[in-house]
A and B are shown apart, each in its own frame.
Chain A
């Protein structure tokens, strides 16, 4: 009886690599739903892909240099309940993918996520106490009255969707 012994560290990944799933499906799983296990655990909203296109690399994997073999999969992306169109699926190599069985697809898609409230942040922050003191002193020396403001800048990205309170007022 062989004994399985692990090395390294534990992982949160529970699943298969994407191509381990897709290569066993009809038409490479076009139209099927796949999702990452860690996202399903981490967020209450559903995150998944509906596969739209697959460019498989069907070369013999026993040939030399199989590391250069690359397949590409595209899908309609839904992250935390927000659909964002067709994307190239990254992190296919992570052994964390799961397939939704066909008879469960309807139930899986019927889960409606609550709309997440926008993270509104203040556009003007207070100066640190010592800095405020020094600025005040400087202003007094120069004979100026108005205190400068400390404005913040938000690096907007797909992951950072925070909005400034001034922007929110403008939008309303």
Chain B
């Protein structure tokens, strides 16, 4: 399986030595690991069920107790050594750098404090400016509001005055019959005559004829009165 040439490449292990062709000159030879791990069970060993070896219960009990004690002891020693080592390494630490570190840290803190103060100064100035600007804005908006309110008052006033003027021509319930009668008695002729010049002759409600000269502008609709 393994050639001797191939095995020369790397370090020789115990398994490799066991796989070698036996040297007749040596008397000692390992008999374990003759089977490769990937090789199947030997045909003669397939149905071989090894018998349980008889065991001495008393001896086993004693051995278990002894091993338990041993492991507990070893664990205690290991813990002690770990603590001891930690203590020692803590004590042996070079303390000189601690002072240096503290000094550097204090310096850094001082610088940080200066930076903070400078930043605070800038921030306060900015905030004061922002406050003033905001106050100005608010004042302006108040003035604008007052102006708007005054304008609205004037506008409402004029609207009321117009409405009051108009209200004089409104038809009252008392005068309703009279007005209806009046409207029924009015005769309106929507037809009109026109001459060659384009002048209009419109008949008014009282029977008179009104001459409406031609204009270049758009003519208004037939008036009703």
Contacts and interface: CB of A to CB of B under 8 A. Distances in A.
B75 interface: yes
Contacts of B73: 125, 152
Contact of B79 (A128, A131, A153): A153
Interface in A108-150: 121, 125, 127-128, 131, 148, 150
Nearest to A148: B80
B38 interface: no
Contacts of B77: 127-128, 131, 150
A85 interface: no
B46 interface: yes
Interface residues of A, number: 17
B141 interface: no
- How big is chain B's contact interface, by range? 10 to 19
Contacts of A148: 80
A10 interface: yes
B76 A10 contact: no
Contacts of B75: 152-153
A71 to B, nearest CB: 31
A10 B46 contact: no
A2 interface: no
A8 interface: yes
Interface in B29-74: 46-47, 49-52, 72-73
Contacts of B76: 125, 150-153
24 contacts: A5-B47, A6-B47, A6-B49, A7-B46, A7-B47, A7-B49, A9-B49, A9-B50, A10-B50, A10-B52, A121-B72, A125-B72, A125-B73, A125-B76, A148-B80, A150-B76, A150-B77, A150-B80, A151-B76, A151-B79, A152-B73, A153-B76, A153-B79, A154-B72
